[in-house]
Amino acid sequence: MGVDADRLRDLTLALVEVESPTGDTAEVARLYARRLEEIGLEVELLDDPFPATPIVVGRLRGGEPGPTIVLNGHLDTVPIPHEPPRVEGGRVWGRGSADMKGPVAAATEAVRVVAESGRSFPGELVVVAIGLHEAPGGRGEDLTWLLGEHGFTADYAIVCELAGDRLVAAHMGQATVEIEIRRDGMPTHELQTAAGTPNPILVAARVIEAVRKQNEELAATEHPWVGAETYFFGEVHGGDFYNRHPATCRLVGTRRWAPGNTLGAAQAEYDELVAPIAAESGCTIDVRLELVRDAYSVDPEHPLAVALRGGYEEVTGEPLEATGMKVVADGAVFQAVGGIPTVYHGPRGEGAHADVESIAIEELARSARIYLATLERLWAGA
């Protein structure tokens, strides 16, 4: 009655066969909800306030008092086209196979094994699947609502992605950055513009240079897990004709910060950085940081992390070493909004966000076993 690789393969393929770009996951959510019902879970499909991305919550009650443990994943994928889904060479191929319908299937398989064993266990096992994960279309608004306004709570959460062979001890926080530089008036002919009129493109150059210097200063401080914080620009937009004096210029990028820092502090620091440039140039400079996810960290000695490390070692025979990551993910939301101790573990796939994406069925089975071994340890400690 253990983990069944064929079932894992079939559920992963079924989920991948329903296209579900971020923000448009209702169909796959309904399919997934039905599958959870079939294995004996009590399922809620929460389609308010995000009707296009209903949240799937599936519960298995253990019959004894104990902790509520969440296994979490996202059903949305990046909106990048992919060849039709298929199974080949022991892998499932298709958009979302690795990121992260395969991992959702692995978590589901672990719950199925418990459900079909008919055993009792302490507390509850809850599967939560969302549809607004991948930025920029999603910023975890649905998960934030579930854990905030909706009042969903639990004792532990396992976010089923990010690292299959490491304990993620910390990851960075991230915001998108949009800077708008504006002068008064409309664009004018280069030669018919009053002397002294600021040129937002040249002002943008000063902002870019100030940010470059600041970035260099940040590079000197290495956070032990995640390295140095960063400023980054990926886009510059300004002007519309070679001899027109522009009225606006726009810079777009990211700001990433280490655990301990906050979005509010990063915004304040940015405002302070551009204030003298705005004052000297006569342009208005608006800096808007928008949260993607907060920073995250967990003590490797926290009972949840200890259970995961023990479960990993039991299944693989290897220790689970701690590491830090730059990339952001939903553990931050469970922690910051829900106040729920959270760890990451997910099967390792290939090609997330790339042209070709796949995941090995054996790897999915391995993660399902690790989830089960981790749960056993949490239950034993309950």
Tokens found for residue 157:
């959460």
Which residues, 316 to 345, sit near Zn ion by CB under 5 A? none
User: Considering only residues 146-165, where is the footprint of Zn ion by CB under 5 A?
Assistant: 161
> Smallest gap, in angstroms, from Cβ of residue 66 to Zn ion?
29
Residue span binding Zn ion (CB under 5 A) among the ranges 36-44, 92-100, 195-203, 363-371: 92-100
In whole angstroms, give the CA distance from residue 237 to residue 245: 14
- Residue 177's alpha-carbon distances to 95, 171, 226, 234, in angstroms, are 28, 19, 20, 10
Residue among 175, 177, 183, 176 nearest 238 (CA): 183
| 217 Cβ neighbours under 8 A, 6+ residues apart | none
Min dist CB 133 to Zn ion, Å, is 6
**Closest separation in Å from C-beta 370 to Zn ion:** 18
379 token code pair: 């239950």
**Does 124 help bind Zn ion (rule: CB under 5 A)?**
no
Q: Given the complex with Zn ion, which of 99 and 109 has the nearer CB atom?
A: 99
From 99, 220, 211, select the one nearest 163 (Cα to Cα).
99
- Provide Rg for the chain, Cα atoms: 24
- Least Å distance, CB 336 to Zn ion, is 18
Task: Give min distance, CB of 351 to Zn ion, in A.
Answer: 12
SS3 129: strand
Structure tokens at 201: 């493109």
Nearest CB to Zn ion, comparing residues 109 and 357: 357
What residues between 179 and 218 interact with Zn ion by CB under 5 A? none
Nearer to Zn ion, 100 or 285 (CB): 100
Question: Of the listed pieces 98-106, 212-220, 240-248, 340-348, which binds Zn ion according to CB under 5 A?
Answer: 98-106
How far apart are alpha carbons 134 and 375 in whole angstroms? 28
Size of residue set near Zn ion by CB under 5 A: 3
* CB of residue 102 to Zn ion, shortest distance in Å: 11
Contact mark string toward Zn ion, 216..255, x via CB under 5 A: ----------------------------------------
- CB nearer to Zn ion: pick between 161 and 294: 161
**With binding defined as CB under 5 A, does residue 100 bind Zn ion?**
yes
User: Helix or strand or coil: residue 138?
Assistant: coil
Considering beta carbons, is residue 161 or 229 the nearer one to Zn ion? 161
Task: Please identify, using beta-carbon distances, which residue of 180 and 294 lies nearer to Zn ion.
Answer: 294
Q: Of 76, 99, 124, 330, which lies in the binding site for Zn ion, with binding defined by CB under 5 A?
A: 99
The Cα–Cα gap between 68 and 158 comes to 11
- Least separation in angstroms between CB 77 and Zn ion: 8
The amino acid occupying position 190 is: E
Burial of 81 (0-12, 13-18, 19+ CB in 10 A): exposed
Distances (CA, A) of 2 to 114, 211, 300: 9, 54, 28
Closest separation between CB of residue 100 and Zn ion, Å?
Answer: 4
Q: Provide, rounded to whole angstroms, the least separation between the CB of residue 139 and Zn ion.
A: 13
Residues 6+ apart with CB under 8 A from 307: 374, 377, 378, 381
DSSP state of 97: I
If the CB atoms of residues 341 and 349 are measured against Zn ion, the closer one turns out to be 349
**Which of 261/335 has CB closer to Zn ion?**
335
Select 124 or 161, whichever has its Cβ closest to Zn ion.
161
**C-alpha distance from residue 219 to each of 48, 214, 256 (Å):** 43, 9, 12
Instruction: Write out the residues near Zn ion by the rule CB under 5 A.
Output: 99-100, 161
